[in-house]
Amino acid sequence: MCCEVKYTLENDIIEYIEECKKEEHPESYLIAVLHKVQGRYGFLSEIHIDEVAHILEVPTATVYGVATFYHYFKLKPRGKYSVSVCLGTACFVKGADSVLGAFKSELGIEMGETTSDGLFSIEGTRCIGVCALAPVVTINERVFSNVSPGQVPKILHDIKDTD
Amino acid sequence: MKYINAIIDDINVSVEEGKTIMEAADSIGAHVPRLCYHPFLSTEGSCRICSVKVEGFGNLLPACATKIQEGMKVTTNSPEIRETRRDLVELLLDNHPRACLTCERDGNCELQNLSYKLGVRHRVFDGARKRFPIDFSNVSVVRDAEKCILCRRCVRVCSEIQGVHNLSQMFRGVNTVVTPAFQAPMDESVCIKCGQCINVCPTAAFIEKNDTDVVWEALKDRNKFVVVQTAPAIRAAIGEGWDIPHGTHVTGKTVAALRRIGFDAVFDTDFTADLTIMEESHEFIQRIKSGEGLPLITSCSPGWINFVEHFYPELLPNVSTCKSPMQMLSTLSKTYYAEKTGKDPKDIFMVAIMPCVAKKFEAKRPEHQAEAGYPYTDAVLTTRELIWMLKAYGVDFPNLPDEDFDNPMGIASGAGDIFGSTGGVMEAALRTSYELITGESIENLEFKNVRAIEGLKEATIDIKGTQINVAVANGLNNAKTILEKVKKGDKQYHLIEIMACPGGCVAGGGQPLSHVEKYIYPLDKEIIKLRQQALYNIDSGKTLRKSHENPAIKQIYNEYLEKPGSHISHELLHTSYQAKSPRGIK
Ligand code: SF4
Ligand code: SF4
Ligand code: SF4
Ligand code: FES
């Protein structure tokens, strides 16, 4: 009736999950497993979530519940450039939400999404501790301070140019 | 047993160690309001409606989730506590559609009742509400997340009782929503369509797909000959819709009611339950003789069939190929009955009244469509839907006279009647198989050792020296236990009865829900027992108690089906199954 299931997860990850299964409460290793998968592939795809569920024998709905509960886990691939707009109190007071709005409309995507060319994605972050420079935006390793919505097109343009 | 002494509302109580404050308070008649709590599921403790004051604690504590301790001083009622509870309900209502007047649960909704009882008389905030589209993807179960109050009872029943684990709470904070994995539409999930989530949901966030409109249309259509059949479990429960005491069987009134609202022929699914026994016993005896395909597992419960297709496809060869009694009756209505009465099967509209929502899905399976393109069953209504229809028509159900089913598919033996209870199919099959195997009349036809309310029962039946190992399981977590044993092969089972719903069809996902506090939890063993007893009483009150002695069964084999397992029986009364995806995780 059934054939060997072919997994897309790499072997070492599958072996790791198999090891976890030998422990007394395999489901308590779920977060560790998801962590490993995201570490390897950058995000948790539906296929990978499903495979983790089947190999670890934890219901898929439970795995998806855990994956969506923690902000740390990403369910969509991130762009090559990850735009993080600080939404901490100081940045927010100084207009971070309109900066975020400008990135969204300029890129045509919502928070947590990636542009179709795979170049940009947008995320919100909590305070990153440089409140004097509010509002702050980081794009990968680069930090932009005192950002206003009007500067957004140029910031994106410059990044594209250096790409 | 150690006892704990505490004081609740200035009254001394002594309860067994391990009891919660709620249980202790209940024992002295201090009813604590509750919402997420469900007596037959694990403790959730999230709604906080059951908040009580415990001396020495700054915050109120949830009575359902706090164990009573020696010397505790508990206050269950005060202006402050009442206000807190009311505030909590108001917060839920502010994020809830104002739809009570047109809602299916109007009158037996726990949220609505609670709001009334706690004295909510106005709505405070009119802020942003959560918005979700209604999921109509599934032909059995509809999910309306806007009416969900996140009590997780559905999540708990689906995993703890049914072992399906289809649902979980996804995301967090204001975005929290209960859905299948990946927020997939219900029909692309592992949902087996049992409807138990509907039964435990305190609101209308889970509800059956409403098919009453197509039935009203058919009843209006002068060119349609509208046939109806009612399942065994209906007669044991439909009276509850008019507060007729639980456990009263109202077969005759149900038949009369169906005629009043315009059905042209009223047949009894119990008749085809007898027919199922004839076909299944034949199949069973064949397998006993050949020693192959054992154990034989029953096939009348469509929730169970969905489960085996998603979770245990390796066991499909063990499942009886018999169609369910519903499908047998529908098929015969559009073949045997149509031919006998000179009707074009296309003009017959077949309605089935079932205690079950998985039956709606079963009726739509490609296996159950005639080659000419029409379905054998046109519409399936739950017991609840029929109650709505009868009320909408204005039928005075309690005062109806008793009427009989129509011929030629209206006579059933007591064996057919007990199909609605867990263990009933097994007992019916044993009565017939015993006599067919031994050729002798059975002395004691009540197989009490397969009658039960527990989820899992095993017995060994001695058929003239041949030991037959049987098992009866209801609730799919119990089924899993037995199926794992079958797979390991520790013991040779011969016959296994599985019903998806806990307690069997009498507690199916389409049965009436009560507005009476005592009966609001459908998994309640007392409700199940009363309904089962109604069916066993019908059986013991009959002289005709074995399927193979039913004269209407003999007649249909003489006139049409030849004999059990004949070519034509195979064509009309048997079916096949397939492995389905997504595959469930056991
Ligand atoms: S679920 Fe209950 S509270 Fe909500 S609309 Fe329906 S009856 Fe009213
Ligand atoms: S119908 Fe049954 S299987 Fe489907 S979600 Fe509800 S409880 Fe789970
Ligand atoms: S759907 Fe119903 S049972 Fe499930 S969490 Fe929501 S309110 Fe509770
Ligand atoms: S009933 Fe106790 S927390 Fe919900």
pLDDT tens profile B564-584: 999 999 999 999 999 999 999
User: pLDDT averaged over chain B?
Assistant: 95
- Provide the annotated active-site residues of B: 280, 283, 300, 320, 359, 362, 367, 505
Helix, strand, coil share (%) of chain A residues, nearest 5: 50, 10, 35
- CA-based nearest residue in chain B for residue A60: B181
Average pLDDT of the segment spanning B124-146: 89
Nearest atom within ligand 4 for CA of residue B151: 4
**Residues A32-56, mean pLDDT to the nearest whole number:** 95
Q: Least CB-CB distance to A64: which of B170, B314, B582?
A: B170
The whole-angstrom separation of Cα A60 and Cα B194 is: 19
pLDDT surpassing 80 at residue B128: no
Q: Residue A1 pLDDT more than 60?
A: no
Q: What are the structural domains, with CATH classification, of chain B?
A: 3-77 (3.10.20.740), 100-207 (3.30.70.20), 213-573 (3.40.50.1780)
Asked whether residue B125 carries a pLDDT value surpassing 70, the answer given is no
Work out which ligand 3 atom sits closest to the CA atom of B197.
Answer: 3
Cis amide bond preceding B408, omega within 30: yes
What pLDDT band is residue A2 in, cutting at 50, 70 and 90? Answer: very low
Contact at 8 Å (CB) between B483 and B504?
no
The token duo for B184 is: 């997939």
- Asked whether residue A125 carries a pLDDT value surpassing 90, the answer given is no
Backbone phi, then psi, for B350, in 5-degree steps? -105, 120
Q: How far apart are CA B314 and CA A1, in angstroms?
A: 7
What is the tens place of the pLDDT at every residue in B505-564? 999 999 999 988 889 999 999 999 999 999 999 999 999 999 999 999 999 999 999 999
- B139, B165, B193, best to mutate for ligand 2 pocket (most atoms within 8 Å of CB): B193
* Short-list B573, B236, B283, B174, CA closest to B424: B236
Average pLDDT over residues B355-371: 97
Ligand lying nearest the CA atom of residue B153 = 3
Lowest mean pLDDT of A68-77, B199-208, B241-250, B252-261, name the range. A68-77
The pLDDT of B177-201, averaged and rounded, is 97
Which ipTM was obtained for this model? Answer: 0.90
**B103 CB under 6 A from ligand 1?**
yes
- B-chain CB neighbours of A60 within 8 Å are 165, 181-182, 190, 582, 585
Task: Please tell me the distance between residue B509's alpha carbon and the centre of ligand 2 in angstroms.
Answer: 9
At residue B162 the predicted structure's pLDDT band, cuts being 50, 70 and 90, is very high
pLDDT digits (tens, 9 = 90+) for B219-232: 999 999 999 999 99
Q: Are A72 and A43 in contact (CB under 8 A)?
A: no
CB contact under 8 A, B167 and A61: yes
> Count of CB atoms within 10 A of residue B118's CB?
18
Chain B contact for A69 (CB, 8 A cutoff): yes
Do the chains contact at A1 and B314, CB–CB below 8 Å?
A: yes
Calpha distance B125→B120 (Å, rounded): 13
Rounded Cα distance, B26 and B374, in Å: 54
Q: Out of A69-73, B6-10, B62-66, B79-83, which region has the weakest mean confidence (pLDDT)? A: A69-73
Cβ burial B265-299 (10 Å sphere, 16+ → b, else e):
bbbbbbbbbbbbbbbbbbbbbebbeeeebbbbbbb
pTM over 0.90, yes/no: yes
Q: Which run of H or of E encompasses B228?
A: strand B225-230
Q: Which of B105, B200, B207 to mutate to test the pocket of ligand 1 (most atoms within 8 A of CB)?
A: B105
Backbone angles phi, psi at B494, to 5 degrees: -105, -45
**Among B343, B547, B330, B355, which residue's Cα sits nearest to residue B442?**
B547
* CA atoms of B304 and B326, how far apart (whole Å): 15
What are the boundaries of each domain within chain A? 11-69, 81-161
pLDDT-derived band at B130 (thresholds 50, 70, 90) equals confident
A4 confidence band (pLDDT: 50, 70, 90): low
Which CATH architecture describes the domain A81-161?
A: 3-Layer(aba) Sandwich (3.40)
Q: At residue B367, what is the residue type? A: E
Domains A11-69 and A81-161 share a fold: no
Does ligand 2 lie within 6 Å of residue B201's CB atom?
no
The domain at A11-69 falls in which architecture? Orthogonal Bundle (1.10)
Which of B168, B182, B582 is facing A62, going by the closest CB pair? B168
Q: Which ligand 2 atom minimizes the distance to the CA of B141?
A: 1
A156 interfaces chain B, CB cutoff of 8 Å: no
**Which range has the worst mean pLDDT, B23-32, B200-209, B255-264, B450-459?**
B450-459
User: Given CB atoms, is B583 within the 8 Å cutoff of chain A?
Assistant: yes
